[in-house]
Amino acid sequence: MHMRTWLAAALAIVGALSIALAAETRSTQAGELRALEGEWIFVEDRTEGRAMEELGPPMSSKFSMGVVEGAVVLNGHGSGHRDVRVSLDGAITEIAEPQVISRYRGSWKDAAFEYEVAFERVSGNSPDSIQRIRRKFRPTADGLLVSVAIDPPARKESIGLYRHAEDIAMPTPAKAGIGDMEWLAGAWVGKRSSGTSIEERWSPALGGAMLAVSRTVNTSGKMVAFEYLRIVERDGGLVYIAQPGGKTPTEFVLSALEENRAVFENPRHDYPKRIVYELSAEGVLSATIGQTKGGTPQRFEFRREGE
C-alpha cells in the first residue's frame, strides 16, 4: 500500500509538472507572438547581392498583424484579402473567389511566424503564374525581419526590415524659410509618355506658406487624379504636406536644400518616403518620388505654362 501510494503521488506530481510546463510554454509562445502585433512600415531591403535600383520591400510597404487565440490575423499582405485568420496548428484557411482559390497555412516555429498561401486558379494555373508564396516574420531587436519566397521563383528569396512607425527615426530638418522655395512658384505643366497630362500650380511664397493643386488628365480629357499640396514654415524649417484626392494629409520634412533643389522625407510613410523638387538651368522642373534609398523612383517633368 505504501508503494502504491508513493507511486500515485509521484505520478500526480509528474502530471502537475507537465501541465505547468505546457502552460508555461503556451505563455512564452503567446508573449513571443505579441511582438508581431501592430502596423509595420518597410525600412530597408536586406537581400544580399542586389543592385541599388533593385532595392525595395519584399512585400507590401505597409501591413499589419494581430494575434488572437491560436492564430495570427493578416491585413495588407496582398491579394486584396482582409482579416485573414491563419491558424498556428497548420489548419488551412481557404478564401474562394470567382477566379482563384487561396489557401493559407501557418505555424510558429523557431521564434518566427511563417505561412504560405497557395493559389488555385479556376481556369488552371499557367506555367508562369505564381502558385505559392512563402513568408516568414521574425521579431528582432532591430525590428521585424520579413523573408518572402515565390514559387515558381521569379528571383531568389527577398528579405526586408520593417518597424513600427514610432520606432523609425525622422530626418534632421534643414534650416530654411518659405522664401527659399520661391523658385517653385508658378504654373507648371507636363506630359507623360502615355500622353497623360499633369500640372502643378504653386502660389507665391507668402505668409509663411506656399499652396498648390495638382491635376492629372488622361488622353480622353478626363481628370483621373488630383492633389492638394502645401509647403509651410515650422520650427525654423519647412514641411511639405500632401493630400492625394483631398484625403488625410501626409507630412514630409525638408531634409536638404540647395539652390533650386529641395528634398523632403518621411521614412514613416509607406510610399513615397522621399520627394525631390529640382529646377534645372534650362527651366525644367522635375518632381521625383520614391524610397529613401534605392529602387526605381518615379520622375515627372514640367515646364512653365506657355513656354
Please check whether residues 153 and 271 belong to one and the same domain.
no
Which residues are CB-contacts of 103 (< 8 A; sequence separation ≥ 6)?
Answer: 92, 93, 94, 95, 117, 118, 119, 120
Q: Residue 115 and residue 135: Cα distance in Å, rounded?
A: 6
Looking at the structure of the chain, the number of domains it has is 2
Terminal Cα distance for the chain, rounded: 107
Which residues on neighbouring strands pair with residue 74, listed in sequence order?
Answer: 65, 84
Q: What is the pLDDT of residue 25?
A: 42
Strand 261-265 with 274-279, pairing: antiparallel
User: Which range marks the domain in which residue 253 is found?
Assistant: 178-304
Neighbour tally for 147: CB within 10 Å: 19
pLDDT in tens, 74-105: 999 987 899 999 999 999 999 999 989 999 99
3-state secondary structure at position 304: strand
Please check whether residues 202 and 133 belong to one and the same domain.
no
CA-to-CA dists, residue 25 to 32, 35, 51, 106, 262, angstroms = 11, 16, 43, 19, 53
pLDDT in tens, 145-198: 999 999 876 667 999 999 999 999 999 999 999 999 999 999 999 998 889 999
Residue 292's domain is classified under what CATH number? 2.40.128.20
Q: What is the pLDDT of residue 23?
A: 42
Is the preceding omega at residue 171 within 30 degrees of 0, hence cis? no
pTM above 0.75, yes or no: yes
Instruction: Name the domain boundary from 166, 186, 205.
Output: 166
Instruction: Name the domain boundary from 117, 133, 166.
Output: 166
Residue whose C-alpha is closest to residue 90's, from 115, 64, 119, 118 = 115
Please check whether residues 186 and 244 belong to one and the same domain.
yes
3-state secondary structure at position 33: helix
pLDDT in tens, 21-39: 344 444 446 678 999 999 9
Please check whether residues 146 and 200 belong to one and the same domain.
no
How much is the mean pLDDT over the chain?
90
In a domain, residue 30? The reply is no
For 178, list phi and psi in degrees, rounded to 5: -65, -25
The C-alpha torsion from 166 through 171 and 173 to 174, rounded to 10°, is -170
